[in-house]
Amino acid sequence: MTGSTPDAGASGTPPEHRDATRLLAAEAAWARAGAGRLVLLRGATGTGRTTVLEATVADAQAHGMRVLRARCSPRDQASPYATVLQLMSPVPEFGDPQFAGDERASAELFRRVLRSYADRAPLLIAVDDVHLADPASHRWLVESARHVDRLRILLVVTERSQYDVDPPAPGLTHTLSPALVRTLTLGPLTANSAAELVSSAHPDAPGPWVEDCVRAGAGNPLLLRALLDDLGAGRHASVPTSSAALYPGAYPAAVSWWLDSAGPATGEVARALAALDEGWDGDVPQAVPSGHDTCPTDELAGVIGELADVDPARVAGWLTAMSGLGVLRPDPDGRPRYAHPLLRDAVLTGVPAARRRAAHAAAAETMQRHGVSPDTVARQLLLSDPVGAPWTAVALQEAASLALRDGRTSDAAAFLRRVLEEPLPDARRQQLLTELGSLEYKAQTTSAGIPRLSEALRLSGAPQDTVRAAVALGTALAGRGRTVAAVDVLRTVEDELTDRPHLIRTLQTASVLLSEQDQSVRKEVYRWLCDAAEHSPELVGTAGHALVVRHAATAGLISAAEAMRRMRALLAQPADPLTEPFLIGTAAAVAQWADELPEAERLVERGLVGQRPDVLHPMHEALVNVRADILSARGEHARLLTDSCPRDRARTGPSNRQAHVLLSLVATGEEARALRLADGFDLRSAPDSWELNRFLYARGVLRAATGDMAGALHDFLECGRRQSAREVVSPVVTPWRTAAAECRIALARPREAIALAEEELRLARVWNTPRTVGRSLRVLAAATGGRRGLELAEEAVRLLRDGPVGTEGELVSALIVRGRGLTAAGERGRARACLREAAERAERLGATRQWALAEEALGESGARRSAPARTGSRSLTTSERRIAELAADGRTNTEIADLLHLARRTVETHLTSSYRKLGIRRRGELPGTLGRTNGK
């Protein structure tokens, strides 16, 4: 071979073409030696048959061969011997033949001329696209091929070999012996070959860009080169997904030609699949049997066959063939999809938008009949115009329910928006608007939530649905700081339901709960509630009486034992389904204050299970807050930090859960993170609410921990002022008096500290739980000092030792105060024992700050300070402790990795390190070494 043949180093020539050209060059050498050859070069549209043929012509001419060539086209079909006439036109002896209707004589004439011409020099006959040759030329080429082996002729013909929906006619070599034919088939480009082509045109292109081009090229040199022409020299930072972004449009033109070459039936099938493919965008793999909830290939073939009015068996074959060529790729559900969104878009180029929407509607209807999953059907309907048939609303609503079940709230909202475009009765439209408005409000990505809920309330529907819409709208308004408007909405609906007392009770109960966000509204609503409960108890209902008990608890008028007795009696009574969530949530809050934490947790879980995820309800947020209160009471800082919610962008103030996160960060010694969180809020502009008061208290704890006692005292006193204005005087919610008293002790103002601690102790004895009384005794002991102070501290320790699970943190603080009192009294031995116990308990709890205070007090007692822990729970890093806490709660490594957005290997590494530091070997030993009881 000479240098004129493209070799392996040819720039921009894929290896598949280079290999074919070398093989053809070898066949030409045999022809020059006198052994004629017929070579059939087959391949799908765009695989480069013409390119290889042109390279073969150039090589033949370079080796002195004469060349006769023809390129067939569809317009030749009506002209007999059109292809042969193209071939013979360069032959000097050839004149225009006289066709007298004798095809045999004409064919013989052509063969004589050809033999005469070939006698003078080796001859290459090159026929491109022989499948388009006119019938007479086709027959002549077949007959000539039978004798070419005795002449110095290389006959090379290219033929399209691609699976089409309409079966093609038999090929050129259909009647020839295989011994007479050398067949070369050009397959699709490999990924490496395609990447080489892209890189040769764009040497500096990044890997992902090259990979994107390769996918859009779908293994087809024609499409890939057209795409590179459109992308130009770096005009696109990324490969577009729409043909409209391409200029001059070589790629969509190439795709259009590729479709036209395949015939109208194949074009319809390709476009039908593209329309379906559009509807699958954003679809999620289904963890169910594919025959029911996905669209497998055989079922997909049936759907497309019905849409395009073709044989499904041919469609199935086409899908398989296109997958083999690389035009289609399977998705996680096994569905064949276009290799790139740009390819899909190019297939649909030129299809009017109205026709595309109609295709999606037709696809959805066909899929519905074939039993495809509602989610897949609904995604087609998202791209269609309203259909107006009852099945559309059913499919979309079922898909929304499935999406909610799987936690895909954005999908659920999209399906519900589409349902509302269909004709619906007002009652059903009201229900859907309530659901959609609730989802959009929670998503915070649109401002449409409240307007939709308002629209729902204006429609006429069942009274229960109207109440649900009103409660949802009230919840949304209160969440935006518009408490007065929220209560007004509920009262307006209440006036329209005078004949339905149970619904009125629901609205009144919701008003009470929502009023918690506004000080003045709260006073008015609770005044009415308490008066009604006393004089007309039948009007209030069980949930209303539960709220009265809660109010008495926060007002310092009732003991924990009495509150729980009343709550349990109310829970035992039959409850209306609409008011039961209020009863359960209120009982959970009171149980948490009463340190009945297991019961509180059961009530929270029961209440959350009963909550609909698609309808706003004030008790959902209340239950979530109680759950955070329970975790904080138990000192489960790792879970609080793990489960902390992102900041609500609609809020101008902090939330209760963020207050607990702040307290946990302080407790675990992460003051820097705590400061960043606290500085993220301007509390001067935050709306008045109980959650602001909680955050003020938490910020005061942070300021005290960082040495800003004056700032901490300001926060505690401001929290107290606000709580008192709300008639919340009991320390069960925020023990601001003892916190302020500790600041005054640090500021050397013991008299003021004693007054605050004594007042809190008085209120704590009314509620009478170990936590509240023990905390008040401990702070009063620190403020009083001396022998009396030591007695108070010892009383606090005794009380908290006998306290329920979850009061260990308060016991550690009481032990520290008692140890300091013993040190001051000169009883250093007893002091050290007391403080070592405090340090050990704090270490088990992961309470870094309390451990540091205990160690500091030990130093003051004359004990040698402990070195920084190398082993034990105190030696764990924050990440190690958080992961260990989750593992102790029974979570698997995979669940922990998903929860914390870590690699599973990272979780395993942290746990291995934790086991070593804790001196344990098994996961089951974690709760004990971390100071947990039964995972709590």
What is residue 338's three-state secondary structure? Answer: strand
pLDDT at 144: 86
Q: Whose CA is closest to 732, among 832, 589, 849? A: 589
Name 160's bridge partners. 43
**Start-to-end CA span in the chain (Å):** 82
Give the DSSP letter of residue 654.
-
Nearest-angstrom CA–CA distance, 620 and 636: 22
Instruction: Give SS3 for 272.
Output: helix
- pLDDT at residue 299, rounded to an integer: 81
Cα Rg, the chain, nearest whole Å: 41
pLDDT averaged over consecutive 10-residue blocks of the chain (936 residues)? Answer: 36 82 93 90 94 95 93 90 88 62 72 81 94 92 86 93 91 88 93 92 90 95 93 78 91 94 94 90 53 60 91 95 94 90 94 89 90 90 94 95 91 95 95 95 84 95 94 91 90 88 89 83 86 83 92 94 96 87 94 95 92 87 92 85 58 82 89 89 82 93 92 95 92 94 94 96 96 96 94 95 87 94 92 92 84 90 64 68 84 82 75 76 77 45
Model pLDDT, residue 932: 52
In the block, residue with structure tokens 């008066």? 531
pLDDT of residue 539: 79
- Cβ-proximal residues to 139 (8 Å cutoff; 6+ apart), any chain: 103, 107
| DSSP code of residue 337 | E
Q: What 3-state class would DSSP assign to 134? A: coil
Whether 208 and 307 have beta carbons less than 8 Å apart is answered as: no
Compute φ and ψ for 133, nearest 5 degrees: -65, 150
Coil vs helix vs strand at 791: helix
Contact criterion met (CB below 8 Å) for 841 and 812:
yes
How far apart CA 94 and CA 224 sit, in angstroms, is 42
Beta bridge partners of 55: none
> Is the dihedral angle over the CA atoms 289, 291, 295, 298 positive or is it negative?
positive
Pair 770, 802: CB distance under 8 Å: yes
What are the backbone angles phi and psi of residue 498, rounded to the nearest 5°?
A: -60, -20
Q: Percent of the chain beyond pLDDT 90?
A: 56
Contact partners, residue 785, CB within 8 Å, separation at least 6 = 750, 821, 824
Structural contact between residues 773 and 753, judged by C-beta atoms closer than 8 angstroms = no
CA atoms 697, 698, 702, 705: torsion sign? positive
| Residue 441 to residue 428: CA distance in whole angstroms | 20
Res 893: pLDDT: 87
Residue 776's Cβ-count burial label (10 Å; 0-12, 13-18, 19+) is buried
What is residue 4's predicted lDDT score, i.e. its pLDDT? 34
For residues 680 and 345, what is the distance between their CA atoms, to the nearest angstrom?
Answer: 45
CA angle, residues 454, 457, 463, in degrees to nearest 5: 160
